[in-house]
A and B are shown apart, each in its own frame.
Chain A
Amino acid sequence: MQSSAFKFLLVCLTLLGASSFARKNDGVRVQLGVGKPTLEVTNPDDTKVNYTGLAGSLRGYIPLLTTEKFRTDLTGTLRYLDFENTNNNSTQSEYAQYIGPSAGLETSIYGFFVGAEYVVLKGRHISVGQFSRKIEFDLTSTNIYYGFRFNLGLGSIGVSTGKMSSTIPKDKTDLSTDSPWKASDVFLEFTYTFEMSTGKFISSIFGK
């Protein structure tokens, strides 16, 4: 059963990938992503703190190097992550939000893509219930992600998964050590490719 499903997916990927590059491949792109992230923070005594939630992202692509089947883009992303602790109960809950921009490079070939970006996030953790407190901090990370995109004319549908790691600084938490921070996510991505190159796109924005 699993083997049949895998073969079906493989056939779909091949057909969609082969039909994906009938048009010119140097257009500026924008992408809207909806994701399911998980977050793991480690306490000073090495106990793990787990979160799940929802995420949204808006990413722009400026092509740097393109051929019919290959392209490398400069990317800029705005990302929002919303988490709740998996340990939440009727007397104590904890929530976390992160928002911030990132910039990086993405390379794709035949619909497969891999990217790396430098991420800056403004984070906030809030405890609610018997004990209430809020902490805010900034962190930076590198996000490595990869996935597959089905190019369907000017639009495309894709799926990606990525990982980030960083630390929450101890001076923002009053703990004795920095707290290791690891996030991973799965995004469903909807991408639209404009029928204009970078230069034309910029010119159109400025009306020239």
Chain B
Amino acid sequence: MIKSDLKWSLGLVVALSIAIAILGCQDPGKGEFFYGTFGLEKKLIVATGGTLTASPFQLIQYSLTGEFEKVLYDSTVENRPMRGVAIIDPFSMLISTDTVDGILKYDVFDGISQFVGSGNLSGNIYNVRRKRSTGEIFVIESTAIESFDSAGNRIGNPRITNTAIGSCLLNGAVRGMDFNSAGYMIVGSQGNDDILMYDVSEPANTLCVAANQTMGNLDPISVLAHSNGTIYVATTNGTDSVLQFAGNLSGTGTAIWTGIATSQPSALVELPDGTILLAVDLTNNIIRMDTEGNILNEPFILDGFTTFVHDMAITEVP
């Protein structure tokens, strides 16, 4: 009896030891949620808005592999060129529009509605972005940056003007805006060709975090704060290019993509796999490249909708 109990105990100990040893090798780590449970998956959203009235102004949805899926909204008849798109949640996004200045809200269930009317915006409207931590909405308005709360109420007058804050100065047309992982806003200023980083945590006390003044006369048009910590800037003067800067904007930019003087890149976005999409107006296409600038797909997308891409975004899944 004792011998039998001993054998069972020994067997249990050995079996448990082996099981624990195998389990020790099986840490799956933290991952994502399964998109299928929500019935949602990430999509590429492209906002178009040519400078010619004949151009179509459309919000287009593509798969992440570049297949056209559908036109979400067409504002051509309203003469509202789309200049920016910001994802709000898995079911809605904001679209900044010029000519009829304002911000529209596109909701999967409710369609289009006005988020901010022309009473609060005027001039040349460009990128719109959402600060994730506060839900505030920021939009480029000519040489300034306006902001709104999540209900569309204006914050600031405007939030950032063309007056120097420390070494940061919005000068001339502001083009390209993004938020990095620390919540700092990064914008391109075409008048002085600076790339500026602001701390916009306090509406009444905007701070200058960094200003890169090394570019020369290159006219930044789009800014991407990449998840790898670096900052990518597309430029449209001289030899059009995409420059990579350190995350703190120190030092000079390194060209990872170089076009020609008329390439006219217009928008940058990071795909979930870390690769970068660049919209190029000359060839009316969207290029996919890695973070070193090696071309992966050219064109990634080339169709009747990519004639003048002003902004791109990736939708969210919880």
Residues of chain B contacted by A44 (CB below 8 angstroms): 35, 41-42, 63-64
Q: Does B32 contact A (CB under 8 A)?
A: yes
Give the size range of B's interface with the partner.
Answer: 35 or more
Instruction: Of the listed stretches B18-26, B205-213, B240-248, name the one at the interface; the rest are far from the partner chain.
Output: B18-26
Q: Does B119 contact A (CB under 8 A)?
A: no
A126 lies within 8 A of B273 (CB): no
Q: Does B73 contact A (CB under 8 A)?
A: no
Residues of chain B contacted by A175 (CB below 8 angstroms): 35-36, 39, 41
**Also in contact, A50 and B28, with CB within 8 A (given A9-B14, A125-B37):** yes
**Also in contact, A45 and B8, with CB within 8 A (given A127-B318, A150-B14, A184-B26):** no
**Also in contact, A133 and B14, with CB within 8 A (given A46-B273, A153-B4, A186-B22):** no
State the Cβ distance, A88 to closest chain B Cβ, in Å: 9
Q: Does A92 contact B (CB under 8 A)?
A: yes
A36 lies within 8 A of B23 (CB): yes
Q: What number of A-B contacts does a CB cutoff of 8 Å give?
A: 143
A51 lies within 8 A of B28 (CB): yes
B318 lies within 8 A of A152 (CB): no
Instruction: Of the listed stretches A64-72, A97-105, A112-120, A155-163, name the one at the interface; the rest are far from the partner chain.
Output: A155-163
**Also in contact, A45 and B42, with CB within 8 A (given A16-B11, A125-B34, A127-B37):** yes
Q: Does B71 contact A (CB under 8 A)?
A: no
Residues of chain A contacted by B38 (CB below 8 angstroms): 127, 131, 133
CB closest residue in chain B, given A15:
B10
Residues of chain A contacted by B16 (CB below 8 angstroms): 159, 188
Partner of A45, one of B23, B29, B37, B272: B272
B39 lies within 8 A of A148 (CB): no
Q: Does B33 contact A (CB under 8 A)?
A: yes
B273 lies within 8 A of A48 (CB): no
CB closest residue in chain A, given B20:
A186
Partner of A133, one of B18, B22, B31, B37: B37
Count of chain A residues near B, Cβ 8 A: 56
Residues of chain A contacted by B7 (CB below 8 angstroms): 16, 19, 150, 152
Q: Does B108 contact A (CB under 8 A)?
A: no
Q: How far is the CA of A49 from the CA of B7 in the complex (A)?
A: 41
A43 lies within 8 A of B19 (CB): no
**Also in contact, A48 and B37, with CB within 8 A (given A16-B14, A38-B26, A157-B12):** no
Q: Does A135 contact B (CB under 8 A)?
A: yes
Residues of chain B contacted by A204 (CB below 8 angstroms): none
B36 lies within 8 A of A179 (CB): yes
Q: Give 13 new A-B contacts, CB below 8 A, not counting A16-B10, A44-B63, A157-B12.
A: A5-B17, A45-B271, A85-B31, A125-B34, A125-B37, A126-B37, A130-B318, A131-B90, A150-B15, A155-B8, A157-B11, A158-B15, A186-B23
